[in-house]
Amino acid sequence: MQNELWLAQAILAFHILIIAFNVFGLIAIPLGAWRGWRWVRIFWWRALHLAALLVVAVQALLGTACFLTIWQSELQEAAGRRGYRLPLIQTWIDHLLFWHLPMSFFTSIYVLVWIGVLLLWWKVPPVLPWRRP
């Protein structure tokens, strides 16, 4: 029982790191392009950011919660705790703002954010490893 709770907490920490990575990229890429920071064009970093946000958008379009949220919730329930019934970010916003927003709102946001990141890929293209100046 304690192992499940510990693993649920580890998944939550990893999930928060992924969310921070995604948000950081949304800010750093356009800011870095404007400021001339070369590291925001690192190919593997940009590809990972684009892929992570694609996973979020696809899960939202499919109407499913993030697999990390589901896994964490199942482990919490196995440990005798209450699990999540909504996606993690939607749960946080519900708790922070007390707004009961429909999943379609979050789906629209996730898809628009991914489209924005895809546009950044075009406007601030990453440097391919084999084409370094």
DSSP-based helix, strand, coil % in the chain, nearest 5: 75, 0, 20
- Encoding tokens for residue 4? 């499940």
Q: How far apart are CA 111 and CA 66, in angstroms?
A: 14
**Beta-carbon-side half-sphere exposure of residue 73 (alpha carbons within 13 Å):** 13
Q: Note the pLDDT of residue 62.
A: 94
The per-residue pLDDT string of the chain (133 residues; one tens digit each, 9 = 90 and over) reads 778 888 988 898 899 899 999 999 999 999 999 999 999 999 999 999 999 999 999 999 998 888 998 898 888 888 887 766 666 666 666 566 556 778 898 899 999 999 999 999 999 999 987 765 5
